[in-house]
Amino acid sequence: MSNSQCARRKCSAPCSALVREHFDTFLGPLAVPRRESVQELGQMAKEAESQPIGWMEWSKEAFEKARTEGKLVLLDLTASWCHWCHVMDETTYSDPEVARTIRSQFVPIRVDIDSRRDISERYNRGGFPTTAFLSDMGESVWGATYIPAADMKRVMDSILKAKASGEIDSALERARMPYLDLARATKKREEPDSEAVADAFEEVFAAYDVDHGGFGSEPKFPQPDAVDLLLYRYSENSDPELSEAVIHTLDSMAEGIYDKAEGGLFRYSVTANWKVPHYEKMLETNLGWLRNLVHAGAVLAEKRYEALAEGTAQYLLSKLRDKSSGAFFGSQDADEDYYRLPEKDRTRARAPSIDRAVYAGWNAEAASTFIEVGAAVGRRDWVDAGRGALRHLSSALWAEQMSLVRHAEGQELYLFEDQVHVLRAIVSMIQLSPDEEHFGLADRLVDSVEKHFAHPDGGYGDVVVPEDAIGDLREARRSLILNAKWAESLALYSGLSGRAELVDKARKALISFSRKEVEAYGVFASSYVTAWAVVNNGPIVVDVHAPFADALSDPLWLAAKRAFLPRTVAVISGDCQADESYAVVCTSKGCSQKIASQQDLFKRISSSQAGQG
**pLDDT of 6-34, one tens digit each?**
322 233 333 445 455 555 555 555 554 55
CB 603 within 8 A of CB 588: no
Same domain, yes or no: 42 and 175:
yes
Whether 600 is covered by a domain: the verdict is yes
Nearest to 110 by CA among 130, 138, 83: 130
pLDDT value of position 181 = 62
How big is the chain by its Cα radius of gyration, in Å? 26
| Whether 250 and 113 share a structural domain | no
- Tell me the mean pLDDT in the region 360-389: 97
Same domain, 132 and 24: yes
Residue 441 near residue 394 (C-beta atoms within 8 A): yes
Q: Is residue 46 part of a domain?
A: yes
Q: Which amino acid would we find at residue 70?
A: G
Statement: residue 576 has pLDDT above 80: no
pLDDT digits (tens, 9 = 90+) for 344-369: 899 899 999 999 999 999 999 999 99
What is the average pLDDT across 366-389? Answer: 97
pLDDT of residue 132: 97
Q: What is the rounded distance in angstroms from the CA atom of residue 147 to the CA atom of residue 201? A: 38
Is pLDDT of 509 > 70? yes
Q: What is the mean pLDDT of residues 118-137?
A: 96
Same domain, residue pair 15 and 126: yes
Main-chain dihedrals φ then ψ at residue 220, nearest 5 degrees: -110, 120
pLDDT value of position 59: 96
Write down the pLDDT at residue 294: 98
Q: CA dihedral defined by 291, 292, 293, 298, rounded to 10 degrees?
A: 90
pLDDT digits (tens, 9 = 90+) for 212-233: 999 999 999 999 999 999 999 9
Q: Grade residue 520 by pLDDT with cuts at 50, 70 and 90.
A: very high
Q: Tell whether 458 is covered by a domain.
A: no
- Tell me 396's DSSP state: I
- Mean pLDDT computed over 289-313: 97
Same domain as 238, residue 145: no
- Which pLDDT value is given to residue 176? 87
Give me the pLDDT at residue 40, please. Answer: 46
Task: For residue 188, name the pLDDT band (cuts at 50, 70, 90).
Answer: confident
pLDDT of residue 44 exceeding 90, the answer is no
| Residue 404: per-residue pLDDT | 98
Find the mean pLDDT for residues 583-597. Answer: 94
Task: Write down the pLDDT at residue 29.
Answer: 58
Q: Is pLDDT above 90 for 94?
A: yes
Q: What is the CATH number of the domain that holds 157?
A: 3.40.30.10
Please report, for the domain that includes residue 259, its CATH number.
Answer: 1.50.10.20
Of residues 21 and 514, which shows the higher confidence score?
514
What's the length of the chain? 613
In tens, the pLDDT along 150-170 reads 999 999 999 999 999 999 999
Beta-carbon neighbour count of residue 124 at 10 Å? Answer: 18
Q: Are residues 158 and 285 in the same domain?
A: no
- In whole numbers, what is the pLDDT of the chain averaged over residues? 91
Inside any domain, residue 510: no
| pLDDT tier at 249, thresholds 50, 70, 90 | very high
CB 417 within 8 A of CB 117: yes
Classify residue 76: in a domain, yes or no.
Answer: yes
Listed residues 357, 380, 403: the one ending a domain: 357
Q: What residue numbers bound the domain in which 562 lies?
A: 546-609
Task: Please determine, for residue 575, whether its predicted confidence score (pLDDT) is greater than 60.
Answer: yes
Same domain for 257 and 169, yes or no, is no
CB 407 within 8 A of CB 117: yes
Last residue of a domain, one of 305, 333, 357: 357
Q: Is residue 144 part of a domain?
A: yes
Q: What is the pTM of this model?
A: 0.91
Structural domains of the chain, count: 3
pLDDT at 187: 63
| pLDDT 10s digits, 395-449 | 999 999 999 999 999 999 999 999 999 999 999 999 999 999 999 999 999 999 9
Same domain, 64 and 160: yes
pLDDT attached to residue 62: 98
Span 191-216, average pLDDT:
97
- The DSSP code for 403 is T
pLDDT, tens digit, 9 for 90 and up, residues 267-282:
999 999 999 999 999 9
**Residue 608, pLDDT score:** 86
Position 267 in a domain: yes
Q: Are 355 and 331 in contact (CB under 8 A)?
A: yes
- Please tell me the predicted confidence (pLDDT) of residue 273: 98
Boundary residue ending a domain (182, 209, 241): 182
25 and 172, same domain (yes or no): yes
Ramachandran region of residue 23, left (φ > 0), alpha (ψ -120 to 50) or beta? Answer: alpha
Distance separating alpha carbons of residues 249 and 229, to the nearest angstrom: 13
What is the reported pLDDT for 246?
98
Q: Are residues 7 and 141 in the same domain?
A: yes
Q: In sequence order, what are the residues at sequence separation of 6 or more whose Cβ sits closer than 8 angstroms to the Cβ of residue 398?
A: 404, 405, 406
- Mean pLDDT along residues 32-43: 47
> Do 266 and 166 belong to one domain?
no
Q: Is the dihedral of CA 409, 410, 415, 416 positive or negative?
A: positive
Do both 161 and 31 map to the same domain?
A: yes
Residue 124 lies in a domain: yes
